[in-house]
Chain A
Amino acid sequence: MSPGANKFSDEFLNAYIDNELADEDRQRLIVAMRDDESLGQRLCRLRTTRDLVQLGYHTPPAARTRRHEPARSWGWHRGVAALVLLGLGLGTGWFSHSNLRHGQSLMDIARTVEVSQADQASRQPVRIMLHVTTDDRFKLATVLDEAEQLLAGRNEHARPVEVAILANGDGLDLLRADQSPFAARIEAMKARYENLSLLACGKALQRVKSRGGVSPPLLPRTEVVPSALGEIINRRQDGWSYIMI
């Protein structure tokens, strides 16, 4: 039996070819190999085995079918399945959050977030649509706080930012002159930042009118769009990122 057979274990030699040995140990093995050809043969065998494994999986066979049914025994969550199918394939992402805790940020209270790849071109302005569907005062305050930070340019990226606040459902209260808890603040923001848009859903306004008989008054410079859904689709196609509250 050659001297190296007992001196260097198989674990040691495997660690050598996997670059896991300390320099001192590597040197010791290299010196020993000069006088013991069996060590080199053992290493060659291990390297060949490793190379064969890499060869075996260089091009693995593709899946025959792509199954999406949530009923499969994988514990799929329907919203997350949609995340995978829609978000990853298009290079954008959906996140769903449903619980509000006091002191959370916009991203924490957001129900859905969809990031546009178009935002990534460094010279393009960042365009973010904040879709408000709630009349929760805390959430509305958070929306305005973050919108103001964006508009004021207080971000690390130093890129121009455009913000559109779109309101429908209960969120319409934010833009109603007779209901909004933040009317003065929003008017001040609108006067200060020309890159802020206020959008009210026309269908939601129509529903309010049909209940009360009168069209609700809106904050100054609030634009009425035909429908929130149509506006979302159009802006997403134009490269806006989308956050639903």
Chain B
Amino acid sequence: MPINILKRLCANNEFHRQLESNRERLYRLAYSWCADPDTADDLVQETMAKALRHRGQLRELGAAPTWLFRILHHCWCDHLRRLRPTTDLESVVLSHELTPERLHDAASLADRVRAAVAELPAGQRQALTLVDLEGCTYAEVATVLDIPIGTVMSRICRARRALSDILMEFAPADAQRGLRRVK
């Protein structure tokens, strides 16, 4: 049965708008996972390409961000497997060089934060950034990473605990005052 071609053309256009409007979010997320701008860019391109190839899988345009994050996650896993074929992907840490000196030498607070996030195991890093950077719900994170919601919660908990131990001395002064106000 012939379908309404106009409907498909308009849906195609809307799909492309969704892809384009999510490009920056994908890049920021990819960068938070891999800590390298060029690798992040490649991940985004691969994600876009796969999204175009498999656009028929997206049933509802409103679910596009979560769907794209899931594709990005698979691209990232493929990348890690190529680099470290025998390593447990969820435990991959980008850097083991986070010394106190490195933290204090970082040019900015943003650099310090990124260095600390790179120290997290990949599973924690992904869950945390999906929530903190992209505002995903725990259920959405569970869908993107294909893990139970309980695992999402424990990864976020461990990630924030680790980060707060590292970063709290660099927090803005008013935030630290709030933490020290004890009576």
A interface residue numbers (CB < 8 A to B): 10-11, 14-15, 18, 20, 37, 41, 44-46, 48-67, 72-77, 80-81, 83-84, 87-88, 91-93, 95, 103, 105-107, 113, 115, 117, 119-120, 126, 128, 142, 145-146, 149-150, 154-157, 159, 161, 241, 243
Contacts and interface: CB of A to CB of B under 8 A. Distances in A.
Contact of A18 (B82, B117, B138, B167): B138
B45 A55 contact: no
Interface in B15-64: 15-17, 19-20, 23, 27-28, 31-32, 37-38, 40-42, 45-46, 48-49, 52-53, 55
A53 B16 contact: no
Interface of B: 1-10, 12-13, 15-17, 19-20, 23, 27-28, 31-32, 37-38, 40-42, 45-46, 48-49, 52-53, 55, 75, 78, 82, 109-114, 117, 128-129, 131-133, 137-138, 153-154, 156-157, 160-161, 163-164, 167-168, 170-172, 175, 178-179, 181-183
A50 B161 CA distance: 11
Contact of A105 (B2, B45, B163): B2
Contacts of A93: 12-13, 15-16, 52
B42 A74 contact: yes
B52 to A, nearest CB: 5
Contact of B133 (A53, A95, A149, A243): A53
B49 A65 contact: no
B153 A15 contact: yes
28 contacts: A10-B160, A10-B161, A14-B157, A15-B138, A18-B131, A41-B179, A41-B182, A45-B168, A53-B163, A55-B110, A56-B110, A63-B41, A72-B42, A73-B82, A75-B46, A77-B53, A80-B52, A83-B49, A88-B16, A91-B17, A91-B20, A93-B12, A95-B55, A120-B13, A142-B2, A146-B5, A155-B4, A155-B6
A45 B37 contact: no
The 9 closest A-B CB pairs, nearest first, are A56-B113, A63-B41, A63-B37, A105-B3, A53-B132, A155-B6, A49-B164, A60-B31, A80-B49
A87 B132 contact: no
Nearest to A147: B5
A91 B16 contact: yes
B42 to A, nearest CB: 6
A105 B1 contact: yes
Nearest to B19: A88
Given A57-B31, A105-B3, 16 more contacts: A11-B154, A18-B131, A18-B138, A20-B137, A49-B160, A63-B27, A63-B41, A76-B46, A80-B49, A81-B49, A95-B12, A107-B5, A115-B12, A126-B6, A149-B5, A155-B5
A46 B160 contact: yes
B44 to A, nearest CB: 9
A212 B76 CA distance: 57
B133 A156 contact: no
Contact of A64 (B37, B48, B138, B183): B37
B6 A113 contact: no
Contact of B49 (A63, A76, A126, A128): A76
Contacts of B15: 93
Contact of A50 (B16, B111, B160): B160
Given A84-B45, A84-B52, A126-B6, A113 B12 contact: yes
A145 B45 CA distance: 37
Nearest to B79: A74
A52 B153 contact: no
A58 B48 contact: no
Contacts of B112: 56
A95 B2 CA distance: 18
Contacts of B6: 126, 150, 155-157, 159, 161
Nearest to A149: B2
A61 B132 contact: no
Contacts of B182: 37, 41
